[in-house]
Structure 1
Amino acid sequence: MLRSAGRTSWKRFACILVPSAVAAAALGIAMAQGALAVSFLISGQKFQVALDTLDVRGLAIYGTVDVTKKGTLVPVFVTGASHAKISGLCQSVVITIPVLGPYTLKITGGDHSRVEARNLFLDATALSSSQANFDDLDIGVATGAVSKGPISRGDRNSRFFDPNGFAQQANSAFLTDVHFTTVAVSAATFNVPDLDVRLRQGHHECF
């Protein structure tokens, strides 16, 4: 296990993470007030989540497998945050409507006040950031030994959960210009100021 105190460059971190973690993703934004759902079947549709900034307290990153309603297995890596503050939230998904063609559902928020989430989990296949800093970072910790960030109850109870698997954790992290390609997002609480939901014809993704 590589342990580093202080600030760690995202690019250096990604060089170790990408070859080691399982490839990635899980569903669309599920916002549950109160207790976190045990688990759910995903649609399998990939969608985009873009954030101007992501400020995390209690970070965990680990691999697992999500399952679609049709039973298809989707390998993902999960980014879990005990508490997250977000500015400039954008989520988009392109839906093809018979006869009418593609439409984009776009959700935005947090332009003037920060979005706040508790026990936030993003099941992703890809993640990029122009800059990411981590405090008290551990790379290569066993998934079952993660203590600094959360593991989803649904993932922990899944038959695909490997307590000896590869994971990363950090006391805190701050990322800018963040792009996730995801198949699922869930949270115990997700408070979004300045919420705006729009459906537009054509392709109008977040990035």
Structure 2
Amino acid sequence: MLHRAGRTSWKRFAAVLAPSVMAAAALGVGMAQGALAASFLISGQKFQVALDTLDVRGLSIYSLVDVTRNGTLVPVFVTGASHAEIGGLCQSVVVTIPVLGPYTLRVTGGERRRVEAKNLFLDATSLSSTQANFDDLDIGVAAGAVSKGPISREDRKSRFFDPNGFAQQADSAFLTNVHFTTVAVSAATFNVPDLDVRLRQGHHECF
């Protein structure tokens, strides 16, 4: 029987997030033994995504293993949103340029009008929020039975996806001061008002 709650704080939710990462690690072992095959390749470069507010309708969180081009395994938890409205978007990645040293590519938007996204997926290694509220939250649902939030079509077809694995879902969620450390982000649509892209010398990360 699934645990249900009307509104749940992030601290309580975070306490049960660890099993997702452990499940992802187990999937990684399976791939190393030849039982799994990668569905796509990532660069492996971690980058930051900071959001002043994240308002989600249709939330899913499930474990997965991403793989780099050279075969490195990267356990992640995927946060999916059927529809998301974002206030104060910041995305940053630090790259090292030969001779010149580190430069930060920083993308911002959504300061005056909200960013809107549909079928948004963030493959993350960490997530924090100063406050998070969830409506009609289910913790411990099987990943293959998630119905309130989206599962990436590519992930569902992949051998990395365990339909019996640990997952969470909620009808809606609202988070403030959100910090993701991610290795991949994808969306069916991603509309960013007031987009600003800058490359600056040195370290100028979002957080």
On whether the aligned pair clears a TM of 0.5, the verdict is: yes
On the 8 A contact 1:3/1:136 being kept in 2, the answer is: no
- SS state of the match for residue 16, structure 2? helix
| Structure 2 residue aligned with 1:55 | 55
Q: Given the alignment of the two structures, is residue 94 of structure 1 paired with residue 91 of structure 2, yes or no? A: no
1:82-121 counterparts in 2 under 5 A?
A: 82-121=82-121
Within 2, Cα distance between the matches of 1:126 and 1:135?
Answer: 22
The percent identity for this pair of structures is 85
1:1-207 counterparts in 2 under 5 A?
A: 1-17=1-17, 19-22=18-21, 40-207=40-207
1:86-130 Cα deviation digits (max 9, x unpaired) = 000000000000110000000000000000000000000000000
Most deviating of 188-197 and 39-48: 39-48
1:44-90 Cα deviation digits (max 9, x unpaired) = 00000000000000000000011111121111000000000000000
Structure with the higher helix share, 1 or 2 = 2
The residue identity in structure 1 corresponding to 2:7 is R
On the 8 A contact 1:134/1:170 being kept in 2, the answer is: yes
Give me the CA root mean square deviation.
Answer: 1.2
Within 2, Cα distance between the matches of 1:14 and 1:41?
Answer: 28
Deviation at 1:20, TM superposition (A): 1.0
Deviation at 1:157, TM superposition (A): 1.2
Stretches of structure 2 lacking an aligned partner (at least 5 in a row)? 25-38
- SS state of the match for residue 7, structure 2? coil
The residue identity in structure 2 corresponding to 1:117 is A
Within 1, Cα distance between the matches of 2:72 and 2:5?
Answer: 40
Deviation at 1:2, TM superposition (A): 4.2
Stretches of structure 1 lacking an aligned partner (at least 5 in a row)? 25-38
Within 1, Cα distance between the matches of 2:79 and 2:205?
Answer: 22
Please report the TM-score for the alignment, with normalisation by the length of structure 1: 0.90
The residue identity in structure 2 corresponding to 1:177 is N
Deviation at 1:192, TM superposition (A): 0.1
Within 2, Cα distance between the matches of 1:184 and 1:89?
Answer: 16
The residue identity in structure 1 corresponding to 2:201 is Q
Q: Which runs of 4+ in 1 moved over 6 A?
A: none
Within 2, Cα distance between the matches of 1:55 and 1:14?
Answer: 18
The residue identity in structure 1 corresponding to 2:21 is V
Please report the TM-score for the alignment, with normalisation by the length of structure 2: 0.90
Within 2, Cα distance between the matches of 1:64 and 1:147?
Answer: 18
- SS state of the match for residue 22, structure 1? helix
The residue identity in structure 2 corresponding to 1:145 is A
